[in-house]
Structure 1
């Protein structure tokens, strides 16, 4: 096969909102709003399911599914099942990315949501270890893997639907609604767990924690209805038409091969985004468990975490909007730098035993600092790839970042704290190291906020 060459960019369409294009019609504006809302709601539902597992792994699964282990060993084993979802996410990115680049974004989003909703509902039905022994953990891991495959396909498709429908100015803000679904979904899941955590301890561990998972069935019906009403990405539709006149060799080239043939962008976005994801998951797992063990009632910790997620929704969108003006890289680098400076004060607040100070730590470290890295991330990743393999490239890039930054982070942090006899100084040093590595990768990548999305190759 001949060496790929950089194609000549296509002329911008009216729908891309480029500076030289005429403004979109009212009908087109309504469609864009519907697509962005669909991506936001769909992402909210998927992350409700996926991150609800994270919080449950930190405070529920150890006594329910690993009751024969010591508290520390049970927590590590519980968080190990959590990691299984992250191991499966790149696989989901490859599967859904391939078919999404070949057959469309919309259909893959419907499938991914169905898989996620079904897996989450079934988690709420898994019998405890006291009833079926080790089979409980096996079933839990299998369902977690299905969650990982589903979220691996969800993020890329939802991001591209918003990004490609908007196209020009403001696309970073539009794409960020997919990432805004993460704190929104986690907020809903945390609130649900907060309510059931008010039950007596035995009732909570026996059946109360299952209720938020069973509610996934209701959210699934709502999500599928909303998603079924949006149109396919116009950028993908045009790319599909262009591919019909390409050579037969180009048509047979799998999107994954196109990415792996020139993997530089994939490596850079995976390395650049892993710290932002690690910060997110540090708060969703380690911080909640540590604050609880430091003396703050579980319901107060969860309420503080819910407050921080509410603030994060708006902070994330604000930083994404800022990135449309000054660029993706400056905003993300500023967030990483701020976290490196604040990580030890945040850990001290989490160790205080005071519910208000724990909430301050959540808002400062997660709502504000992490949002600066997470807000521009959706557009930053997707803009690095051409239309012919954008679903595959964006999905693999983001899911590789989650695997590197979050898959084993909870286990590593708990183990580091145990090795330091309960101190958090090794935890802080590890997180600072991750931020420095990601900052280097972001510095090596190119600024993408003005890139033409109609470019076919990456």
Structure 2
């Protein structure tokens, strides 16, 4: 090998090493940021199942209060497509990094303010109105966060590792769930009166500390090199949403439906099942929170194996196997929970949840690969967040309605969840057929 050739090879290796190092740094920042965002989002979900009905809606813990609390939960999801459109536009126009700093600040401020709100008994209707408005700010923030977090990690990575690095953002979901569930598991050890009076507020106020940590990490990350190149080549979309809707409507529709169970599963388990098991089956809420905490830890550990399997066997085979197994395990999980035996309940939740979690790890890269870079932020954000608003966020509300409109039968809920798994399977495979990762 000649000296110039050897030098060029060494330079290429150094460049690849530097890119890998930068990608890991971006991946870590993506993980930390989404952990903070999902922690903030999940504490509201948990609180809505445990206490928000009686504090803000005067529901006294009955079905009406639960439905109102779950309705406010859904309004946060309804706001998420707005965040996807607004911050998707900004992310595709001015860059990923600036957009992500803004979404993190919005989420942290809204969450902290929820922890300071007076209840219905103190200020009447002003309490639920303020709660709903802040929940919608949460929704707008997380609607703009997720897509950018996926891209800041995957676009820093070498092309062949984009799917794996996109999964860094997905790890924020179980990590946020661990922190949120752990917080409430500790606080439910308080006497009920103390928990209702002030204990539930602590997780919301703690968000301020987490946001500071997230900002410190996020501000150190460089802009996505793919976006920098796009801007240098003057190929930035003028109106990303218009280009997305007119140029890629099929990928958008498939992206929405492919995300169905990946988003809804978390809220079936951590919100609907939590409410059903404690209100209808009589389980202690501290017991169920501990079960969910164990599940969240296992999800965090096992979820990355989804992209490992996809790298080994291919995304199509892996998604088909995981979602087929998930489909079969839905009735098993509900049968296990109905026993009210903590070990059996935990086993059922973990068996179903782990298969879904491994598929969820693949989902980010699957969506990112479905859209060209000029509209990628808008495309993956709108796919994910429309699904969140129409399907994921309605899961606890629809589940609660099905349960009580059929006299307490869990069968319609089981069927509904199985339908969502089937829709996700069909549309994920169709999307993979269209995408560059197939």
**How high is the TM-score relative to the length of structure 1?**
0.89
| Partner residue in 2 for 1:351 | 338
2: CA distance, partners of 1:320 / 1:119 = 33
Q: Does 1:298 align with 2:285?
A: yes
Distance 2:53 2:180 in 1: 19
Q: 1:420 to 1:410 in 2, by over 3 A?
A: same
User: Is 2:370–2:436's contact at 8 Å kept on the other side of the alignment?
Assistant: no
1:58 aligns with 2:49: yes
Distance 2:237 2:175 in 1: 40
- In structure 2, the residue matched to 1:373 is 359
Q: 1:314 — aligned with what?
A: 301
Shift in Å, 1:400 = 1.4
Contact 1:320 1:375 in 2 (8 A): yes
Q: Is the 8 A contact 1:158 1:178 kept in 2?
A: yes
Residues 1:253 and 2:238 are matched in the alignment: yes
Residue 332 of structure 1: aligned partner = 319
Q: Which has the higher helix share?
A: 2
Are positions 1:423 and 2:414 aligned together? no
Residue aligning to 1:157: 148
Question: Aligned to 1:422, what secondary structure does the other structure show?
Answer: coil
Alpha carbons of 1:446 and 1:221: their partners in 2 closer, same or farther (altered >3 Å)? same
Change in CA separation of 1:32 and 1:135 when aligned onto 2, cut-off 3 Å:
same
Q: CA RMSD in A?
A: 1.7
Deviations for 1:55-108, whole angstroms, at most 9, x for unmatched residues?
Answer: 111111111112246701110110000001110111101111111111110000
| CA deviation vs aligned residue, 1:288-314 (integer Å, no higher than 9, x gap) | 112223232211111110111111112
Once residues 199 and 385 of structure 1 are traced to their aligned partners in structure 2, the CA distance between those partners, rounded to angstroms, is 49
Moved more, 315-324 or 264-273: 315-324
Match of residue 172, structure 1, among 163, 171, 174: 163
5 Å-filtered alignment, 1:81-230, equals 81-230=72-221
Distance 1:24 1:284 in 2: 44
Aligned length: 425
| 2:393 equivalent to 1:407 | yes
SS class of match (1:209): helix
- Conserved? CA contact 1:170–1:321, under 8 Å: no
Aligned to 1:3: none
Which residue of the partner structure matches residue 17 of structure 1?
none
Residues 1:32 and 1:300: Cα distance change in structure 2 (over 3 Å): same
Q: Is the 8 A contact 1:276 1:336 kept in 2?
A: no
Instruction: Determine if contact 1:291/1:358 at 8 Å carries over to the other structure.
Output: no
> What's the counterpart of residue 280 of structure 1?
266
Alpha-carbon separation, structure 2, partners of 1:78 and 1:378: 29
CA contact (8 A) 1:35 1:230 kept: yes
Contact preservation (8 Å) 2:77, 2:393:
yes
> Within 1, Cα distance between the matches of 2:273 and 2:320?
23
> Does the CA-based 8 Å contact 1:113-1:224 persist in structure 2?
yes
Deviation at 1:177, TM superposition (A): 1.2
Residues 59 and 66 in structure 2, CA contact (< 8 A), matched pair in contact too: no
CA offsets, 1:2-37, max 9 Å, x none? xxxxxxxxxxxxxxxxxxx75744433322211110
* Structure 1 contact 76–414 (Cα < 8 Å) conserved: yes
Q: Alpha-carbon deviations, 1:29-61, whole Å to 9, x = none?
A: 322211110000000000000011111111111
| CA–CA distance in structure 2, aligned partners of residues 447 and 326 of structure 1 | 16
- The alpha carbon displacement at 1:343 in A equals 1.2
Could you tell me whether the CA contact under 8 Å between 1:269 and 1:398 is conserved in 2?
A: yes
- Give the match's secondary structure for 1:376: helix
- The 8 Å contact of residues 54 and 61 in structure 2, kept in 1 or not, is answered as no
C-alpha separation between the residues in 2 aligned to 1:376 and 1:121?
Answer: 32
- Asked if the contact 1:45/1:223 (under 8 Å) is kept, the reply is yes
Contact 2:78–2:390 (CA<8 Å) still a contact in 1?
no
Corresponding residue for residue 5 of structure 1: none
* Higher mean displacement: 69-78 or 421-430: 69-78
- Residue in structure 1 matched with residue 64 of structure 2 by the alignment: 73
Q: Deviation above 6 Å: which 4+ runs of structure 1?
A: none
In the alignment, the residues of structure 2 paired with residue 161 and residue 125 of structure 1 have an alpha-carbon distance, to the nearest angstrom, of 33
| Distance in 2 between residues matched to 1:442 and 1:330, nearest whole Å | 11
